[in-house]
DNA sequence: TCTGGGGTCCTAGGGCGA
DNA sequence: TCTGTCGCCCTAGGACCC
């Protein structure tokens, strides 16, 4: 190994689809897709589904016939299941290095410091086998001297499964250069649509060409972010492993099942999102100082009158009480709602987050201390009962708000009534 | 009839006090 | 007292990620 400090990127293959398959072994080698909230778009595809030409983000109803024709197994998203499976995978990974950054629900960076005498290829292979054996989730591993290069190494592992067995270690200059020349510029981590379009105008088509550009030019065009990426691709470690950090904003936004015109219906939705957001705040022991409330019409229906409006509401004191946040969210909504529009989407975003134990209460405007205990009780009961049975009065109890989730799989791992039964 | 949701970081530009 | 300038803070918007 010519580097003494390396990064590994572990990425679960077709994560949501793989989670569904863990409990449905009959679906192995069969096309599986998972849909977004309200069963709107395709958000995950198994390899077999990719081969059928189903693109990421495909609008579900437009592919209905293809699903039937090729016997594609379609699932509504089941985040309770995916979150739990993710925890299991991350837990196993943490045994392979003390330095772990959970990058997303299905990805983690590991840093190997002082592993000079290790055969990293064998080590990563063992790690991927263990994850697969213990959770049923297949993963790929890319190992390289920087985070950006480990992303590329991971891509190689995924692209050539027979040759790599799902693990690729970029441990020589030759391998680095070969990989950079192989990867298209638009596939590099950190290069999106806008930047790749700009680079292609400059006749930059792969990552290697990008590394050859003058750093001053890269910085002036793409700011410090572009410059960092260029250094990373050259093999100079620039991005560090991020520590576990509390979130800076918590968003709860959803499309409505139907268009809503009546303010009372929208109020109920916004109140529910506010309560959900407050629950997330309590989950990470933080309070919000400010909330942002927005509503918008269906932007895909240009034949209809369009309206988008948002409002920032300053809370009188930092809080995570569902009651208080819901109240101010509804006040905000009243300010932005306009009669005569068919609203399709709305949301509440918690901002200005501070740790629960550090909040400074306003001298004259203290929160009702009963809220704290009440919220604890609500969280406890909801955790115990599942299904979020305890709600605020302003949140509807009926079916009207329910998401469209026609193909929802059971919550095998988190719901006692859904545990798989062996007969 | 149906078109996701949840984040981060950076920069530019304005307000404001020293 | 008025004006210019600098730095800090905040916000909006843009770009990216999964």
Q: Of A176-185, A212-221, A385-394, where does the model show the most confidence?
A: A176-185
A345 touches strand B (CB under 7 A): yes
**Per-residue model confidence as pLDDT tens digits over A255-266:** 998 899 999 999
A234, β-bridge pairs: none
- Give CA–CA dist A144/A232, Å, rounded: 10
- Give CA–CA dist A190/A243, Å, rounded: 20
Q: What is the arithmetic mean of pLDDT over A16-44?
A: 93
For nucleotide B2, the protein residue with its alpha carbon nearest to C1' is A61
Which of A77-86, A155-164, A189-198, A387-396 is the least confident region? A387-396
Distances (CA, A) of A47 to A15, A36, A369: 11, 18, 53
Q: Residue A280: helix, strand or coil by DSSP?
A: helix
Per-residue pLDDT band for A398 (boundaries 50, 70, 90) equals very low
Per-residue pLDDT band for A378 (boundaries 50, 70, 90) equals confident
A45 touches strand B (CB under 7 A): no
A195 touches strand C (CB under 7 A): yes
What integer pLDDT is reported at residue A38 of this predicted model? Answer: 84
A192 touches strand C (CB under 7 A): yes
Nucleotide nearest to A43 (CA to C1'): B4
Distance A220 CA to C4 C1' (A): 29
Who's near A148: CB < 8 A, 6+ residues apart?
A188, A189, A190, A229, A232, A233, A239
A108 touches strand C (CB under 7 A): no
In the predicted model, what is the mean pLDDT of chain A? 88
Which of A106-120, A284-298, A388-402 is the least confident region? A388-402
Tell whether the model's pLDDT for residue A208 goes beyond 90: yes
Q: What is the arithmetic mean of pLDDT over A77-105?
A: 93
Q: What is the arithmetic mean of pLDDT over A158-162?
A: 95
Angle of helix A193-201 relative to helix A215-234, nearest 10 degrees, comes to: 120
- Give CA–CA dist A189/A168, Å, rounded: 17
What integer pLDDT is reported at residue A399 of this predicted model? Answer: 38
Q: What is the arithmetic mean of pLDDT over A20-39?
A: 92
A196 touches strand C (CB under 7 A): yes
Nucleotide nearest to A191 (CA to C1'): C16
A103 touches strand C (CB under 7 A): yes
Report percent pLDDT > 70 for chain A: 90
A101 touches strand C (CB under 7 A): no
Report percent pLDDT > 90 for chain A: 61
- Give CA–CA dist A183/A82, Å, rounded: 30
The H helix count followed by the E strand count for chain A is 14, 12
Q: Which of A409, A404, A411, A402 is nearest to A61 (CA)?
A: A404
A191 touches strand C (CB under 7 A): yes
What integer pLDDT is reported at residue A423 of this predicted model? Answer: 59
**Per-residue model confidence as pLDDT tens digits over A93-145:** 999 999 999 999 999 999 999 888 889 999 999 999 999 999 999 999 999 99
Tell whether the model's pLDDT for residue A362 goes beyond 60: no
Per-residue pLDDT band for A322 (boundaries 50, 70, 90) equals very high
* pTM of the shown model: 0.88
Q: Which of A265, A281, A250 is nearest to A348 (CA)?
A: A250
DSSP annotation of A416:
G
A193, β-bridge pairs: none
Nucleotide nearest to A15 (CA to C1'): C18
Q: Please identify which residue in the block is written with the tokens 């799902």.
A: A166
Q: Which residue has the higher pLDDT, A380 or A70?
A: A70
Task: With beta carbons less than 8 A apart as the criterion, state whether A356 and A322 touch.
Answer: no
Per-residue pLDDT band for A388 (boundaries 50, 70, 90) equals low
A252 touches strand B (CB under 7 A): yes
Q: How far from each other are the two terminal CA atoms of chain A, in whole angstroms?
A: 51
Q: Please identify which residue in the block is written with the tokens 């997303």.
A: A104
For nucleotide B1, the protein residue with its alpha carbon nearest to C1' is A258
Which of A11-15, A282-286, A301-305 is the least confident region? A301-305
A254 touches strand B (CB under 7 A): yes
Which nucleotides in chain B lie less than 7 Å from some protein C-beta?
1-11
Distance A238 CA to B9 C1' (A): 15
Longest dimension (CA), chain A: 69
What integer pLDDT is reported at residue A117 of this predicted model? Answer: 84
Distance A222 CA to B12 C1' (A): 14
Length in residues, chain A: 423
Per-residue pLDDT band for A1 (boundaries 50, 70, 90) equals very low
A312 touches strand C (CB under 7 A): yes
């Amino acid at each position: 190994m010519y580097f003494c400090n390396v990064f590994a990127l572990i990425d679960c293959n077709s994560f949501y689809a793989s989670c569904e398959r863990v409990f449905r072994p009959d679906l192995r080698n069969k096309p599986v897709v998972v849909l977004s909230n309200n069963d709107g778009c395709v958000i995950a595809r198994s390899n077999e589904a990719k081969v059928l030409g189903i693109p990421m983000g495909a609008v579900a109803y437009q592919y209905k016939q293809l699903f039937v024709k090729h016997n594609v197994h379609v699932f509504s998203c089941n985040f309770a299941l995916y979150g739990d499976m993710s925890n299991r995978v991350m837990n196993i990974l943490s045994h392979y290095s003390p330095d772990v950054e959970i990058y997303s629900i299905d990805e983690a960076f590991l840093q190997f410091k002082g592993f000079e005498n290790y055969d990293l290829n064998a080590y990563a292979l063992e790690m991927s086998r263990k994850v697969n054996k213990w959770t049923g989730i297949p993963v790929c591993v890319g190992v390289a001297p920087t985070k950006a290069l480990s992303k590329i190494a991971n891509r190689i592992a995924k692209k050539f499964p027979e040759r790599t067995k799902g693990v690729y270690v970029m441990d020589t200059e030759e391998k680095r250069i070969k990989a950079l020349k192989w990867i298209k510029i638009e596939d590099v981590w950190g290069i999106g649509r806008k930047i790749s379009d700009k680079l292609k105008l400059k006749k930059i088509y792969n990552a290697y060409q990008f590394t050859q550009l003058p750093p001053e030019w890269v910085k002036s065009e793409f700011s410090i972010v572009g410059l960092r990426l260029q250094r990373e691709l050259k093999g100079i470690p620039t991005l560090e492993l991020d520590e576990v950090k509390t979130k800076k904003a918590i968003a709860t936004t959803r499309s409505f099942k139907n268009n809503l015109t009546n303010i009372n219906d929208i109020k109920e939705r916004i109140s529910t999102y506010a309560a959900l957001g407050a629950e997330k705040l309590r989950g990470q022991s933080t309070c919000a100082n400010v909330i942002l409330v927005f509503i918008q019409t269906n932007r895909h229906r240009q034949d209809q009158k369009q309206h988008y409006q948002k409002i920032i509401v300053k809370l009188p004191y930092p809080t995570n009480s569902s009651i208080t946040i819901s109240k101010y969210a509804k006040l905000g909504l009243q300010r932005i709602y306009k009669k005569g529009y068919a609203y399709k989407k709305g949301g509440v975003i918690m901002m200005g987050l501070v740790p629960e134990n550090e909040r400074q209460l306003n001298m004259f405007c203290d929160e009702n201390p009963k809220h704290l205990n009440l919220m604890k009780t609500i969280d406890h009961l909801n955790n115990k009962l599942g299904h979020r049975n305890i709600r605020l009065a302003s949140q509807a109890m009926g079916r009207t708000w329910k998401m469209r989730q026609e193909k929802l799989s059971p919550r095998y791992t988190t719901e006692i009534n859904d545990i798989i039964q062996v007969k």
